[in-house]
Every structure is written in structure tokens, then in C-alpha cells.
């Protein structure tokens, strides 16, 4: 690879590498992730500084991963014996190509895709971009093979010019970002190992996950000094079944699920309001009852979960608010059924009948206390349910639901209830703490570099605290309270096996993450494309300049 790159300038290198990476499939949860990792290691090995240094470029297998996926690391020493280190971070996996439909065969061929879109009159904006020759198309071009390419190009530059580094550069490419973040979670142990073995001082990580225009005509380049958190609130709803001919005597769990969804999904009132930040409302990702086939019995149970972004709100407070919403939903359904039954009885001239439509709402931790007070061994019930479910089920969320349903079945009363718990994945929110010396230094470095580049390039930059989408950067630090940790663990079924979160390692590392993103449009869509002039010409210089500035930190 180096033989091809050595004759190119920076922009050409970044574009060449992007095309090479796009052409190689690395769909999330596929063998392609492992092959992409090996390919990246080969690329770095071709650089002269890494030719005969196996100890400076290596892969880390993700423990217990059924596909044998791995992370890629490369370490470059600077001009001095400094322990100061900057991390370059990117993920190597992509989503699939089903969205390309009849042209799926072109999904990994940027040149042929551009030819296709030049003739594509159904979307004038895409057609115009294709005709401009300023955009590179293809699955992963934006998210985020171009990000890897920019880091590789800068790694090559610094490997040939180590005197420009007043410290060290650690490059880290992770697997499974689009899924369960197994790569980034596993990488924490490697970061700790390097820190202890080599005495490294991690000053900051630079991620370049993609950014896009936020509205028509928006050309601002948004820079983020942290990342939003994500939690997956799950509701296991148990009703009271009934024959469809007597449905008003039962409690339909799908009604409660519908009420919950109406109150939570796309409800912007639930979103934290942060000055100058792009904040997103929660959305329903799954809702399904437990019926396996047609019959005239109403459903017994229903499962629903939501994507929920959070930023500065404590987890305990968030849990309390979700519990109150569930209680309101259950009461609304109770009132609705009461009214409907009254109308039914009046129209049909039937006598009064004592029926109860009340539904208990509880968080998992309180439910466990309730069951234990009844003498039920909840630990055994949960572990047996996990084992049995894991024999047939691979989705960690469904295994968690099976565990909660087993707990419900262990209750002799089996009363109608809604149980709130959390499922995988969980990503903590973090941002550069500008109340610390390090935070002030990083903020000043970033603002100085962006000011200089704005004058030089004419670009408009805006710095925000939270990258608004999911990012591996979430796992490089954790500043939540002990109360948050306990609240999470108690309400997350089988967390140690379904989604082990190394919160202690995250606290110990405490690495600030700055996202200087590649720029483009339509991430995760078949029209995905990266804007070449900014991504391949401007961005690498910004990252390079910020790297130099950070590593010049005094007093380390």
C-alpha cells in the first residue's frame, strides 16, 4: 500500500484509502469486520516506520466474540521520551446494503455509483452532487471509512515526520460500533495495559465520526467535545387475557404499550433542553405482543423498548420520570376500560359486575425486592432464565425480556403489571470538563486551531458539547455517580453477561474525546456520500494541527 501512497499528496492519499476501504465489505456482525481489521494492519505494516516493528502495530481479539472480531492498534513515538499521548479513534464496521435495492451490486464501487447518480433524475440534489465530482459515494464512504482513511494518512505523515510530534500517537480502530460496541468496550483493557506498561498520559482522543448539514443550505462544520448518552428503557407488560367476545373483562397489554409509545416516542418535551446543543427525542424501536399465532384470545404480554438519548440528567432521575409515565399510561388504560365497560353494560342492559382493571407499575429493582420478600430466589430464577433463553435466542434484548418474564411467572399472584428495566446497549454521556485545567487547555487548543483554519479556508465552525449520535467515544470516560452506577446495575437484567460495562476502567482512563468529523450527507442511506474538498483536504490538516497543539501541553 505504501508504494502507492508515497507518490500522492495528502488529499489523494485520503481519497485513495477511502476507496480501497469502501470496496472491502465490513458489515456489522460479519466476518468482514475481522478481514477489514487484518487489512488495516497490513496497510500500517507497509509504512516504513512499521515494517519490522510488530510490537508497534497489532490487533486485539475481542474476548468471547463468536466471529473472532478484533481491534487494530498502532503506536508511534514522537521526538522525545514524553509520555503524553493523543489517540486517533474510528470504527471499521458499516451497516449493510439492503437499502440499495436493485443496485446493491454497486454499493461498494464508488466510481460506478457516481456514474449511476449522474443519471439519477429522481433526486436532483444527489444528481447535482454526483455531477460536481466533489462527492464520493458508497456504503461506508461517510460512516466511516473516510474517517479511517484520514487517520491513516495522518499516521503516515507523522511516521515520516516524527520530529513534529512532542509526544506519542496511538491509533485505534474498533469493531462493532454499529451494534453492541464490543470493540470499544474491549479496547479499554488494552488502553489500561498500555498506560500501565508504558506510563502513558492520555491527553485526548480525536474521533472523526461523520457530520452532516442540519438544514438546507447549512455549510457549518460542527465540532463536538463529547458525545450524547443513550439508554434503552424496556417495558415488559403483563395484562389479563380474555376471549375476544369478553375482551372488556381483561386487560390488553397492547393498549398499555400503545399508551406508553404515545407518551414517549417522539415526545420532545422529554428531551433535555441544552443551550446551543442538538438534542433528540426518544423513539420506539420495538413493540410486539407475545402471540405466536392466530386465536381469539387477547395477548397476555407485550414488549416495548425505546431509544432514549440523555446528556446531563442523572440516571436515577430519568428512571423516576419513566416510571411516572408508565403509571400515567396504566391509569389511562384503566379509566378507558372502566368507561368502555360502563357503556357496554348500559347499552346491553346488564347488571353491575365487580371488575378490576388496575395495573401495577414497578421498576425491576423494586420488583426484585418484592419477590425476595415472598421468599423467591430471584438470582436463581434470573440465571436459569438467562441460560434457557440463550439456547435459542441471540438478541440480548430478548434474553433480558425472557428473564423479566420468568421473574413475573415466579410470582404466585401474577398480577397485571408493567416492569421497567434497561437493555443493551448503554452508552454514557460525556464531554470535556472546562472546569479543569486539562479541559481549559483542550478547549483553548481547539478554539485556536479552528480560528486559524477558519481564516485560512473560509470555513465556518461551531463547537458543541455533545455529538448527537451514538459513538464509541462514550466509553472512554465515565463521570456518573455511584448512585447512577447502582441504579443502572440493579435495573439491567444479567448485565455482567449481556452487556458488561467496564465503568471502573472508564473512570480510571477518563479520556476526553473531541469529534472532528468527516463531512457528507445521507449516512446509513443508499445515497451516502462524503464531501471530498473538506474531508480530504481541510479536515486532515485540522486534525494534524490539533494533534501538534495538544501534545505541546506544558507541565507533563
pLDDT tens for each residue of 304-362 = 999 999 999 988 899 999 999 999 999 999 999 888 888 887 888 888 887 887 899 99
Distances (CA, A) of 146 to 187, 234, 310, 323, 431: 21, 35, 28, 42, 24
pLDDT of 180 higher than 60 = yes
Confidence of residue 466 (pLDDT cuts 50, 70, 90): very high
Residue 62: per-residue pLDDT: 96
User: Who wins on pLDDT, 488 or 243?
Assistant: 488
Mean pLDDT of 258-277: 95
Which phi and psi angles does 307 have, rounded to 5°? -80, 120
pLDDT digits (tens, 9 = 90+) for 50-93: 987 778 999 999 999 999 999 999 999 988 889 999 999 999 99
With the C-alpha atoms ordered 429, 433, 438, 440, is the resulting torsion angle positive or negative? Answer: positive
pLDDT of 556 higher than 60: no
Is the pLDDT score of 30 beyond 90? yes
How would residue 262 be classed by pLDDT, with cut points 50, 70 and 90?
very high
Question: What mean pLDDT is reported for the chain?
Answer: 94
Residues 483-498 have a mean pLDDT of: 89
- The answer to whether the beta carbons of residues 73 and 58 sit under 8 Å apart is yes
Other CB atoms within 10 Å distance of the CB of residue 443: 17
Task: Look at residue 301 in the predicted model and tell me its pLDDT.
Answer: 93
Per-residue model confidence as pLDDT tens digits over 498-519: 999 888 889 899 999 999 999 9
- Split at pLDDT 50, 70, 90, the class of 104 is very high
Per-residue pLDDT, averaged over 284-289, amounts to 96
d(C-alpha 517, C-alpha 143), whole Å: 10
pLDDT single digits (tens) 425-442 = 999 999 999 999 999 999
**Stated pTM of the model:** 0.92
Task: Write down the pLDDT at residue 14.
Answer: 98
Mean pLDDT along residues 452-470: 96
Q: CA 108, CA 159: separation in Å to the nearest integer? A: 30
Distance separating alpha carbons of residues 468 and 524, to the nearest angstrom: 15
- For residue 155, which of 169, 141, 173, 175 has the smallest C-alpha distance? 169
Q: Where are the alpha helices (DSSP H) in 476-538?
A: 482-490, 495-498, 503-509, 532
What lies within 8 Å, CB to CB, of 537 at 6+ separation is 10, 11
Over pLDDT 90: what percentage of the chain?
83
pLDDT in tens, 122-137: 999 999 999 999 999 9
Q: How far apart are CA 240 and CA 302, in angstroms?
A: 11
d(CA 65, CA 517): 29
Is pLDDT above 70 for 525? yes
C-alpha 301/C-alpha 207 separation (Å) is: 42
**Mean predicted confidence (pLDDT) in 214-227:** 96
Q: Which residues, other chains included, contact 421 with Cβ-Cβ below 8 Å and sequence gap of 6+?
A: 234, 236, 363, 364, 400, 404, 491, 492, 493
pLDDT of residue 555: 66
Q: pLDDT band at residue 151, thresholds of 50, 70 and 90?
A: very high
Least confident of 71-75, 160-164, 394-398, 502-506: 502-506
| Least-confidence region, from 420-434, 467-481, 529-543 | 467-481
Q: Which residue has the higher pLDDT, 488 or 73?
A: 73
Q: Out of 75-89, 252-266, 380-394, 471-485, which region has the weakest mean confidence (pLDDT)?
A: 471-485
Amino acid at each position: 500500500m505504501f508504494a502507492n501512497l508515497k507518490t500522492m499528496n495528502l488529499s489523494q492519499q485520503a481519497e485513495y484509502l477511502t476507496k480501497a476501504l469502501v470496496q472491502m465489505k465490513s458489515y456489522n456482525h460479519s466476518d468482514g469486520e475481522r478481514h477489514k481489521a487484518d487489512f488495516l494492519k497490513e496497510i500500517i505494516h507497509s509504512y516504513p516506520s512499521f515494517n519490522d516493528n510488530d510490537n508497534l502495530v497489532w490487533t486485539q481479539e475481542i474476548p468471547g466474540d463468536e466471529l473472532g472480531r478484533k481491534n487494530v492498534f498502532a503506536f508511534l513515538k514522537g521526538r522525545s521520551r514524553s509520555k503524553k499521548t493523543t489517540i486517533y479513534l474510528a470504527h471499521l464496521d458499516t451497516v449493510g446494503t439492503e437499502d440499495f435495492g436493485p443496485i446493491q451490486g454497486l454499493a461498494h464501487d464508488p466510481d460506478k455509483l457516481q456514474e449511476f447518480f449522474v443519471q439519477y433524475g429522481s433526486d436532483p440534489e444527489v444528481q447535482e452532487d454526483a455531477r460536481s465530482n466533489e462527492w464520493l459515494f458508497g456504503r461506508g464512504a461517510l460512516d466511516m471509512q473516510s474517517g479511517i482513511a484520514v487517520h491513516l494518512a495522518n499516521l503516515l505523515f507523522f511516521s515520516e515526520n516524527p520530529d513534529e510530534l512532542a509526544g506519542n500517537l496511538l491509533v485505534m480502530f474498533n469493531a462493532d460500533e454499529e451494534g453492541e460496541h464490543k470493540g470499544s468496550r474491549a479496547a479499554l483493557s488494552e488502553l489500561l495495559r498500555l498506560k500501565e506498561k508504558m506510563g502513558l498520559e492520555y491527553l485526548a482522543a480525536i474521533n472523526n465520526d461523520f457530520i452532516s448539514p442540519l438544514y438546507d443550505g447549512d455549510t457549518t462544520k460542527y465540532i463536538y467535545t463529547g458525545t450524547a448518552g443513550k439508554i434503552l428503557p424496556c417495558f415488559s407488560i403483563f395484562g389479563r387475557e380474555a376471549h375476544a367476545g369478553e375482551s372488556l373483562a381483561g386487560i390488553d397489554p397492547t393498549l398499555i404499550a400503545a399508551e406508553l409509545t404515545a407518551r414517549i416516542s417522539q415526545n420532545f418535551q422529554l428531551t433535555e433542553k441544552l443551550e446551543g446543543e442538538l438534542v433528540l427525542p426518544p423513539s420506539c424501536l420495538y413493540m410486539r405482543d407475545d402471540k405466536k399465532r392466530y386465536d381469539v384470545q387477547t395477548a397476555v404480554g407485550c414488549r416495548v423498548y425505546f431509544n432514549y438519548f440523555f446528556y446531563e440528567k442523572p440516571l436515577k432521575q430519568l428512571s423516576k420520570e419513566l416510571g411516572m409515565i408508565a403509571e400515567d399510561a396504566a391509569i389511562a388504560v384503566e379509566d378507558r376500560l372502566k368507561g368502555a365497560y360502563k357503556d357496554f353494560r348500559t347499552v346491553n342492559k346488564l347488571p353491575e359486575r365487580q371488575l378490576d382493571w388496575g395495573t401495577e407499575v414497578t421498576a425491576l429493582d423494586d420488583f426484585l425486592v418484592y419477590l425476595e420478600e415472598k421468599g423467591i430466589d430471584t438470582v436463581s430464577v434470573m440465571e436459569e432464565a438467562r441460560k434457557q433463553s440463550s439456547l435459542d435466542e441471540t438478541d440480548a434484548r430478548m434474553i433480558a425480556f425472557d428473564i423479566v418474564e420468568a421473574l413475573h411467572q415466579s410470582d404466585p399472584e401474577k398480577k397485571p403489571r408493567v416492569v421497567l428495566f434497561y437493555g443493551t446497549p448503554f452508552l454514557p454521556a460525556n464531554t470535556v470538563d472546562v472546569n479543569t485545567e486539562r479541559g481549559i487547555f483542550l478547549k483553548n487548543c481547539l478554539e485556536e486551531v479552528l480560528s486559524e483554519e477558519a481564516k485560512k479556508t473560509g470555513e465556518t465552525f461551531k463547537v458543541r458539547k455533545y455529538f448527537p449520535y451514538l459513538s464509541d467515544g462514550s466509553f472512554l470516560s465515565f463521570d456518573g455517580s455511584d448512585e447512577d452506577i447502582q441504579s443502572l446495575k440493579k435495573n439491567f437484567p444479567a448485565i455482567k453477561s449481556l452487556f458488561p460495562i467496564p465503568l471502573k476502567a472508564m473512570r480510571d482512563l477518563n479520556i476526553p474525546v473531541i469529534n472532528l468529523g468527516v463531512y457528507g450527507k445521507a449516512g446509513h442511506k443508499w445515497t451516502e456520500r462524503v464531501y471530498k474538498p473538506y474531508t480530504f483536504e481541510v479536515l486532515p490538516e485540522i486534525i494534524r494541527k490539533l494533534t501538534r497543539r495538544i501534545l505541546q501541553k506544558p507541565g507533563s
